[in-house]
Amino acid sequence: MSFRAPHELHKRRFGRNLGLGLVLAAFVALVFGLTVAKVSNTAFKVPSLSQGGN
Amino acid sequence: MSDASLNTDNAALPLEAGFGDFFALLKPRVMTLVVFTAVVGLLAAPVAVHPVVALAAILFIAVGGGAAGALNMWWEADIDAAMKRTRKRPIPAGRVTREEAFAFGITLAAFSVVMLALATNFLAAGLLAFTIFFYVVIYTIGLKRWTPQNIVIGGAAGAFPPMIGWAAATGTISIESVMMFALIFMWTPPHFWALALFMRGDYDTAGVPMLTVTHGRRATRVHILVYTVLLAALALGAAFTGIGGPVYLGVAVVFNALFLRDAVAIWRRDEAQAEADNYRVEKRAFRLSLWYLFAHFTAILAEAVLSGFGLGGWA
């Protein structure tokens, strides 16, 4: 039993979904990298809870 | 959509967009200029930026520029369909609808501004938001269809990226970033008018009031010369600011001499001469203008890199 070749429309959708998936993965990696860069900065301070409450 | 609808000929299928079509909406060729000048603005700034923050800043500036490009294509679908140069773009070709382009552009615009603010600072994000607004609302929707000065004022939108890059690094606007802005701003009109001289049919067909259409080709030739003289004065003056130095001055002298030579040649020619050699000088000036901007910003970057070794600038 053989599979039918994917339809052109499905191929195009797959390409679009794959592209979007890769972009989202790259975005997650970038935000993670940004977070590490920001909290590694010597000027970074964890906000005080008491200040946040007032 | 039901699977039954897939059992038709390919010709009858709706032209569904692929990933590349959405990427094309971002005007990737224009984006390369945005990215390059923004990188130079960011690296020329006298403040060290964490590499990840710099990468994120450039990426979000590029996305913001791309979003402006998508919104420009949304509004100008009718012009793009009329012009030979642009009729294969995703909207006139029928692969992306205008509504999709608008949703895509407006979402990316908001996303890029918010992310740039989080990654760097509010000044850089504000400048990016203003750039998108200026390009889409002031230039595309407002000016382009009713004034022949569209290129002059619209050029400001393309001039902002180095300023945004500089602001992302320093959080300020300074004479150096204003000089980089001014360099692109003054460069844009002669660059586009040279193009308009030899792409003669396109803008007429689309009804865009380019200077060549409203004031004639003689006036356009005069305008190219005047703007190139002003540009040369500005480009050479920038050599003596914080972004300049001996390397930049050398590059500026050579490229401004070449650009002035072409501008004078364009001014001296009439249409009969231009048609006789198929706009050879105008085409050469257009190609040179691309190298001109690339060379100036590369020289600014070189000065910044050299200053890292204590060699850049006049000090």
Structure tokens at B205: 């067909």
B136-184: pLDDT as tens digits? 999 999 888 888 888 888 889 999 999 999 999 999 999 999 999 999 9
Q: Which residues of B touch A37 (CB under 8 A)?
A: 50, 52-53
B88-119: pLDDT as tens digits? 899 998 889 999 999 999 999 999 999 999 99
> How much is the pLDDT for B25?
95
Q: How far is A12 from chain B (nearest CA, A)?
A: 5
Which residues in B have their CB inside 8 Å of a CB on A? 6, 10, 13, 16-20, 22-23, 50, 52-53, 55-56, 59, 118-119
Whole-angstrom distance, CA of residue B114 vs CA of residue B119: 9
In 3-state terms, what secondary structure has residue B208? coil
> How much is the pLDDT for B226?
97
Whole-angstrom distance, CA of residue B71 vs CA of residue B106: 7
Asked if B61 and B49 touch (Cβ cutoff 8 Å), the reply is: no
pTM over 0.90: no
Q: How far is B9 from chain A (nearest CA, A)?
A: 11
Whole-angstrom distance, CA of residue B283 vs CA of residue B198: 7
DSSP state of B137: I
pLDDT lower than 50: segments of chain B: 1-12
Out of A18, A19, A37, closest to residue B53 by CB: A37
Give the alpha-carbon dihedral of B229, B232, B236, B238, to 10 degrees. Answer: 110
Whole-angstrom distance, CA of residue B64 vs CA of residue B125: 10
Whole-angstrom distance, CA of residue B25 vs CA of residue B72: 9
Out of A8, A19, A30, closest to residue B19 by CB: A19
Element (H, E) at A21: helix A8-40
Among B128, B133, B136, which residue's Cα sits nearest to residue B56? Answer: B128
CATH class (in words) of the domain with range B17-313: mainly alpha
A-B contacts (CB, under 8 Å) = 40
Q: Is B289 exposed, middle or buried (0-12, 13-18, 19+ CB in 10 A)?
A: buried
